[in-house]
Structure 1
Amino acid sequence: MDTTIVLILLQDGVMNGAIYALLGLALVLVFVVTRVIFIPQGEFVAFGALTLAYMVNGRIPGTVTLLLIMGALVFVFDCIGAIRARSARGLVRTAGWALLLPLVLYLIAPYIVSKNTALWLNVLFSLMLVIPLGPMVYRLVYQPVAEASVLVLLIISVAVHFALTGIALVFFGAEGWRTPPFMEGEVMIGPVSWTAQTFFVLGTCFVLILALWVFFGRTLYGKALRATAVNRRGARLMGISTTMSGMLTFTLAAAIGALSGMLIAPVTTVYYDTGFLIGLKGFVAAIFGGLVSYPIALAGALFVGILEAFSSFWASAYKEVIVFTLIIPVLLWRSFGAPLTDEEE
């Protein structure tokens, strides 16, 4: 192995590591706020990539119909809750984001979807289709059992993963898709040519992480999520709605997952079940930080990406085994250093 090969592998590792970093941050965010180990995070990666791929090929994605169905289910659930509580408070807001928004997107989709539509417009429309699925999943699945134990929430996450994978197969089919790169061209750094797409991915990840830092440090909603992450009961006593925190957290997770899928689609063929492996690698990165530390999860993601790249060169048939086996020593290391605490009741 010479220097050129090392630099090429580093390029691939750093770009993949940046994607895993975003997914790891999303997993940490969801866990610290809601105590949910969000295994279906990878499904939003697949939804985002496949929705964009359908649109750039001039086909209306199945996400349009899926959003309508899930929105109708959310409204029905809220109507049942309103009848039981004998209060219609919040139904108008639910009708707005769960019924009106999906209906508007469904009606305007035929006018936007075209092979001649600009890529940036396809990206924005795809995000508008995928992001609302996050809070809808939370409302339908996790909100009714928000106070359940972490183990129960984990089992539910496994079930949601299989359900979303089946839904992706129904609405997108078994065919693999790629999307055109966001930027074309190459930049010579030493003996290696780095693609412009690599710099676009790294720049997008940096901007998104910076935006999240500003959101959590400077905005009222961000501070409310931080308070919920520190102490759920204390946040409720201070008037912070844990339901609102959960909905907002899943919205951010869906946005990060969908954008990650769009970033990786130009370099990887995405199938309906591709997101699971990508999400698991983000989970490995999150485990580095014990599902609570953002900086360590970021460092872990870069390490996972670089390890995967070099493993694919030395032992391509075992690269997934090498990456996922990494969980075992990391868990042992975390268990030896973590104090024993009781789960909050």
Structure 2
Amino acid sequence: MDLSIAGILALDGLTNGAVYALLALATVLLFAVTRVIFIPQGEFVAFGALTLALLQAGKVPGTVWFLLALAIAAAVSDVYNGVRHHQPAARIGKQVLRTLGVPVVVSLIALWAAPRGFPLVVQALLTLALVTPFGTLIYRLAYEKLADASVLVLLIVSVGVHFALVGLGLYFFGAEGFRNPSFWSERFSAGPLTLNGQTVIIFAASLALIVLLWLYFEKTLSGKALRATAVNRLGARLMGISSNHAGRLAFTMAAFIGALSGLLIGPTTTIFYDSGFIIGLKGFVAAVFAGLSSYPLALVGALAVGLLESFGSFWASAFKEVIVFSSILPVLLWRSLRDPHGEEH
């Protein structure tokens, strides 16, 4: 291996690591706020990439019908809870309208826009609008009633949600893989390295989102409320911060990050209905490097995972996944020895 090959591999690793960083940040965010180890984070990636692919083909993506089904289920839950707690009909009606409003409007826009062949950027924005509401709806239907359950119970629910989303992905998108067109096809040369426009977009979008997340958590009231919930759920409740609202917001942000990651990675590799699991798992490995608690360490861990994957594929391409996932073992051993913990109550 010479320096030119090492540079190419490093660039490829950092590009993938930038996407893994977003997924790692989403994983850390969800665990910090809700204590959910969200296995299906990668499914948001696959749904984002494949929804855009179907819009490119002029077809109505199955995510439209899935979004409507989730919204209707959540609205039925609103009615049931309202009747159970003897709430006024007007209040129940307002809650149902809030639940159905965004999903119905976005779905109608998607049904109208799908066959019209709008530009790629418009279709990408529509994809984000379709996939992002999945976050709060999945949290409401699968996790909200179990918010105070143990981490193990929440993990079991996550595994169930993962299998459900993978099955639905196969039904919505089929077994065929899709590769989306690049958002920017320009190429730049720097010695032996060739930097394409999509790579620039990946780095720029990842950096911008990381900065925006930092500003959100440091400078806004709702961001500080999320941080407070992450530090002490009971204390946040006593201060009037709704843990349910915090959970819904965290899942919405995670769905947005996942969908954006799908748009970024879609032009660089072929995405299948089940590709999200491996991609999300690499983000999870990076989050474990950070102990599921530190955003800067999650970023560093994601870049390390990307580099390890890239150089591992050069030296032993058949074992690159084994190399990446095996790297988590010494990290877990080190953290277990460094931070011994008692039994969860």
Normalised by the length of structure 1, the TM-score is 0.97
Q: How does 1:201-212 map to 2 (within 5 A)?
A: 201-212=202-213
Are 1:113 and 2:114 an aligned pair? yes
User: 2:341 is matched with which residue?
Assistant: 340
User: 1:62 is matched with which residue?
Assistant: 62
Name the SS of the counterpart of 2:276 in structure 1.
Answer: helix
Equivalent-residue separation in structure 2 for 1:94 and 1:61 (angstroms): 27
User: 2:282 is matched with which residue?
Assistant: 281
User: 1:292 is matched with which residue?
Assistant: 293
Equivalent-residue separation in structure 1 for 2:16 and 2:204 (angstroms): 13
Shift of 1:106: 2.7
User: 1:316 is matched with which residue?
Assistant: 317
Equivalent-residue separation in structure 2 for 1:322 and 1:97 (angstroms): 46
Tell me: CA distance 1:167–1:258, structure 2 relative to 1, closer, same or farther (3 Å). Answer: same
Equivalent-residue separation in structure 2 for 1:251 and 1:300 (angstroms): 24
Are 1:49 and 2:49 an aligned pair? yes
User: 1:17 is matched with which residue?
Assistant: 17
Stretches of structure 2 that go unaligned for 5 or more consecutive residues are none
Name the SS of the counterpart of 1:113 in structure 2.
Answer: helix
Equivalent-residue separation in structure 1 for 2:253 and 2:300 (angstroms): 21
Equivalent-residue separation in structure 2 for 1:27 and 1:100 (angstroms): 28
User: 2:199 is matched with which residue?
Assistant: 198
Q: Conserved in 2, the CA contact under 8 Å of 1:55 and 1:115?
A: no
User: 1:331 is matched with which residue?
Assistant: 332
Q: Please list the CA deviations of residues 140-198 of structure 1 after superposition, one character each: whole Å capped at 9, or x if unmatched.
A: 00001111000110111111100111111111111101111111111112221111211
Equivalent-residue separation in structure 2 for 1:44 and 1:136 (angstroms): 13
Equivalent-residue separation in structure 2 for 1:341 and 1:91 (angstroms): 44
Aligned length, in residue pairs? 344
Equivalent-residue separation in structure 2 for 1:282 and 1:326 (angstroms): 13
Equivalent-residue separation in structure 2 for 1:136 and 1:100 (angstroms): 13
User: 1:99 is matched with which residue?
Assistant: 100
CA RMSD across the alignment: 1.4
User: 1:84 is matched with which residue?
Assistant: 84
Name the SS of the counterpart of 1:193 in structure 2.
Answer: strand
Q: Conserved in 1, the CA contact under 8 Å of 2:107 and 2:130?
A: no
Tell me: CA distance 1:91–1:132, structure 2 relative to 1, closer, same or farther (3 Å). Answer: farther
Equivalent-residue separation in structure 1 for 2:105 and 2:251 (angstroms): 22
Shift of 1:120: 1.2
Q: Which runs of 4+ in 1 moved over 6 A?
A: none
Instruction: Give the letter aligned to residue 168 of structure 1.
Output: G
Equivalent-residue separation in structure 1 for 2:31 and 2:228 (angstroms): 14
Q: Which moved more, 1:332-341 or 1:312-321?
A: 332-341
Equivalent-residue separation in structure 1 for 2:37 and 2:94 (angstroms): 28
Shift of 1:111: 2.8
Instruction: Give the letter aligned to residue 112 of structure 2.
Output: Y
Shift of 1:97: 4.2
Q: Please list the CA deviations of residues 298-326 of structure 1 after superposition, one character each: whole Å capped at 9, or x if unmatched.
A: 10000000000011111110000110011
Name the SS of the counterpart of 2:144 in structure 1.
Answer: helix
Equivalent-residue separation in structure 1 for 2:286 and 2:217 (angstroms): 21
Tell me: CA distance 1:170–1:205, structure 2 relative to 1, closer, same or farther (3 Å). Answer: same
Equivalent-residue separation in structure 2 for 1:92 and 1:241 (angstroms): 21
Q: Conserved in 2, the CA contact under 8 Å of 1:56 and 1:115?
A: no
Equivalent-residue separation in structure 1 for 2:292 and 2:153 (angstroms): 17
Q: Conserved in 1, the CA contact under 8 Å of 2:79 and 2:96?
A: no
Q: Conserved in 2, the CA contact under 8 Å of 1:285 and 1:297?
A: yes
User: 1:131 is matched with which residue?
Assistant: 132
User: 1:71 is matched with which residue?
Assistant: 71
Tell me: CA distance 1:331–1:90, structure 2 relative to 1, closer, same or farther (3 Å). Answer: farther
Normalised by the length of structure 2, the TM-score is 0.97
Q: How does 1:161-310 map to 2 (within 5 A)?
A: 161-310=162-311
Instruction: Give the letter aligned to residue 12 of structure 1.
Output: D
Tell me: CA distance 1:90–1:341, structure 2 relative to 1, closer, same or farther (3 Å). Answer: farther
Equivalent-residue separation in structure 2 for 1:341 and 1:196 (angstroms): 49
